[in-house]
Amino acid sequence: MKKYDRQRIILDLIEKNEIKTQQDLSKCLSEKGIHSTQATISRDIKELKIVKVQTLNGQYKYEVSNIANDSLSERLKKICKLSILSFKRNDFIILIKTISNTASVCGYYIETAKLKGISGIVTGNDTIFIAVENVNKIDEVINEIKNLLR
């Protein structure tokens, strides 16, 4: 697995789970089939600028700092701008074609934007399928995605 993919998964795990130690993070990664050494996880935490914060009950957990989010978001935006080749609509589905091996990254970027009107995103190797909630607003959703990439 490439470093970028592993780090994207680490960020996702920390945002969705209460991870208190590197051992907890290592266990979560293992459950996803990703086996990394403690040194690799430690290096990833440092590079991603993940910090430990105190919770309301006085314990500590990992959290993604806003600085790391901003730099990751900018990197993802740049990847998407360079990778997306075309948009097509079909009933409740938006079909986005990308260059090979970038659909999952682009789909992740679109998903984390939490745009209104999207009910689900499925990605393949070079294709993203986006289901919209209301067929009458499909063009609005396409425009919101395009604006996200500007």
Query: What type of residue is 14?
Result: I
Which pLDDT belongs to residue 100?
94
pLDDT at 2 (0 to 100) = 85
Give Cα separations from 18 to 7, 35, 39, 105 (angstroms).
17, 20, 21, 24
Counted residue by residue, the chain has a size of: 150
Name the nearest CA neighbour of 50 among 69, 23, 31, 34.
69
- Residue 134 CB contacts under 8 Å (≥ 6 apart), including other chains: 117
Write down the pTM of the prediction. Answer: 0.56
Residue 106: what pLDDT? 95
52-87 per-position pLDDT tens digit: 988 888 899 998 876 555 567 888 898 999 999 999
Q: How far is CA 8 from CA 94, 104, 106, 145, in A?
A: 24, 11, 12, 21
Is-contact 107 118, C-beta < 8 A? no
